[in-house]
Structure 1
Amino acid sequence: MKIAFINQPWSVVSPPVQNADSVATWTYEVSSRLSKDCAIVSYCKQHKSQAKCETYRGIEYRRISLIPDRIFLKILRELSKIVPISPSPLFNSTLYHFWYILAIAFDLRRQHCDLVHIHNLSHFVPIVRAFNPKIKIVLHMHSEWLTQLQPTTIARRLRKTDAILGCSEHVTDKVRQKFPAFASRCHTVFNGVDLDRFRPPEKPRDRLPKTLIFVGRISPEKGVHVLLEAFRQVAEHDREVTLQIVGPKGSTPREFIVDLSDDPEVQKLDIFYEKNYATYLDSLITQKIHDRVSFPGSVPHSHLAEFYRESDILINPSLTEAFGMSLIEAMATELPAIVTRIGGMPEVIEEGKTGLFCHAGNPDSLAAAILKLLEDDLLRTSMGTAGRERVLKLFSWDRVSERVWNVYQNLQQKND
């Protein structure tokens, strides 16, 4: 079998992939394991001085220039201010990164691949199908876009897919319910974690001060403002605690999440797009907590495990979350987690066993959960141990790759 993976056009892929976004990391980890049994082609954008073609550990990386799309998208964005582009939003239009996927569709035909794996961008499907009528197409969703965008448009695209993957049962089940005609094509494949890199600390976590850690993009939907409000309450009760907010500053485009959501709490986030979110967060950091809150910025994935090992509790206060990569990374290092009961996170965390839940958008609820864990050393330790065991069972890259391979083989058997 020959398999092609299509990376998202904004992902920078440079093997060995260690510091890429979560989707590019997923592709690299899974394709590296599958390459032992089949031929792999990985398509991605050509970044700066990268070679157009490169082979690394048996995987052929074929890179596509984004220059035509950058020019084209600039023109489209200007035109959209005058004439509406259908279907909207722009990222759901066939024209979005059209030249990128067109070049890949042409090349796929020359490569004679049996199967192609596409992430998130459903409008890539009909273009690939037009030039490769016999290829098996797997559409892999790491978001809720299929159930948030125009259903008639999405249904036309799903008819051209052979399998639809969701990164959590939350995502997958929503697709099944919205598009029952395609329910039999839907499968859940969790994200994974490198168990060797994200290992527990060698020494017990018995130092002071205790450290809370958030890992992710510093964007409104991640609930960092809620975390800071909660930390102000925690700091009043416990002087021996600090907070690290690890991740790049920069709001996710509102059309990707806020404009699509039917959740009132997520819709309220539109106020943060009328002002600078980072500036607003700074205003929440009072003089009393100023020396206890740090922003290390964007940390290379290769160094991230050490941040988890030096922390005591992971906090994920997201208002929307398809899966929650930071959860399994933290659990792999035996770190307990406090998360919102949102999206796919209840599938990762076992309440009372590997972590605690709090109410989304509620600083009081989050503060109470934090204080409960800070005051119970034995509970934190037992949750950490149980978390590592759960990751070993469900979220290793080997287990994820095995699940994907089963989906691929079933598709090929249907073809035979």
Structure 2
Amino acid sequence: PVPVCLDRLHSSKKKKNTFVFVGRLSKNKRLDLLVEAFASASQNKEAMLYIVGSDFENLRKELERKVKNLNAEDRIKFLGKLPEQELVELLASTDFFISASDYESFGISAIEGMASGCIPVLSSIPSFRAFVEKGKNGFIVDFHNTKRASKKLAQIMELSRAEKEKMRKNAIAYSKRFEPKEQTKKLLALYSQLHNKRR
């Protein structure tokens, strides 16, 4: 695993049913599927989705039109690329980190979200399934089935505060495995093991 510097991240008072996506606005992130599922799930609910990241493939206008057509402009906001400290504070106060990506080499943003106390709600791809223990430290959602994804998101929005706090603690604890000092320990143990085999 890639070491992730988590020292600057923290968790603070969470705003209920707030979700954040952090990443480039590119086709592989499947923000089209994400906004569709979220718009449906959040109808008549107090919920908000923040989309953070640079407009890498000029998709923002198209996505904003889609959000408008879904009548979800009041609960899906595009924030563009944020200064680092603003992003840190947003993650700290957000309930869930969400991504519908079709592929990710690792998923550093999701780990940073977990370190900030965000419960991960992620697509069913190998890199995400590798660190999400369903129902324990996060959720895996099939965003390609919009109806099913919407139903799952609606269920997630109904979690009690106690259920969320338990999962939040598990997410923070899991994220610590990716701190540089932990990765260094693993590398040293591996080198030692290889060295002993050669002797």
Q: TM-score, normalised by structure 2?
A: 0.86
Q: Is the 8 A contact 1:315 1:339 kept in 2?
A: yes
1:297 positional shift: 1.3
Q: Does 1:381 align with 2:165?
A: yes
Q: Is the 8 A contact 1:192 1:396 kept in 2?
A: yes
1:409 positional shift: 6.8
- 5 Å matches for 1:6-405? 190-201=1-12, 203=13, 205=14, 207=15, 210-238=17-45, 240-251=46-57, 277-286=59-68, 288-377=71-160, 378-392=162-176, 394-405=177-188
Q: Distance in 1 between matches of 2:81 and 2:152?
A: 27
Question: Larger radius of gyration, structure 1 or 2?
Answer: 1
1:407 positional shift: 5.4
1:228 positional shift: 0.8
Distance 1:357 1:245, change over 3 A: same
Segments of 4+ in structure 1 off by > 4 A?
A: 405-416
Q: Is the 8 A contact 1:356 1:369 kept in 2?
A: no
- 1:302-344 deviation per Cα after TM superposition (whole angstroms, max 9, x unaligned): 4422111121111111111222112211111221111112021
Q: Is the 8 A contact 1:192 1:328 kept in 2?
A: no
SS of alignment partner, residue 60 of structure 2: helix
Q: TM-score, normalised by structure 1?
A: 0.43
1:350 positional shift: 0.7
- 1:250-282 deviation per Cα after TM superposition (whole angstroms, max 9, x unaligned): 13xxxxxxxxxxxxxxxxxxxxxxxx5333212
Q: Distance in 1 between matches of 2:68 and 2:25?
A: 19
Q: Is the 8 A contact 1:217 1:250 kept in 2?
A: yes
SS of alignment partner, residue 344 of structure 1: helix
1:286 positional shift: 1.8
- 1:156-190 deviation per Cα after TM superposition (whole angstroms, max 9, x unaligned): xxxxxxxxxxxxxxxxxxxxxxxxxxxxxxxxxx1
1:382 positional shift: 1.3
Q: Distance in 1 between matches of 2:3 and 2:88?
A: 14
RMSD, matched Cα: 2.5
1:369 positional shift: 2.2
SS of alignment partner, residue 9 of structure 2: coil
1:243 positional shift: 1.0
1:101 maps to what in 2? none
Unpaired runs of 5+ residues, structure 2, are none
1:230 positional shift: 0.9
Q: Distance in 2 between matches of 1:219 and 1:342?
A: 17
Q: Is the 8 A contact 2:23 2:53 kept in 1?
A: yes
1:408 positional shift: 6.1
SS of alignment partner, residue 213 of structure 1: strand
- 1:53-83 deviation per Cα after TM superposition (whole angstroms, max 9, x unaligned): xxxxxxxxxxxxxxxxxxxxxxxxxxxxxxx
1:223 positional shift: 1.2
Q: How many residues align?
A: 197
Larger RCO (CA within 8 A; separation ≥ 6): 2
Q: Distance in 2 between matches of 1:301 and 1:400?
A: 24
Query: Match for 2:108: what amino acid?
Result: M
Q: Distance in 2 between matches of 1:302 and 1:411?
A: 41
Unpaired runs of 5+ residues, structure 1, are 1-189, 252-275
Q: Distance in 2 between matches of 1:335 and 1:382?
A: 12
Q: Distance in 2 between matches of 1:363 and 1:192?
A: 34
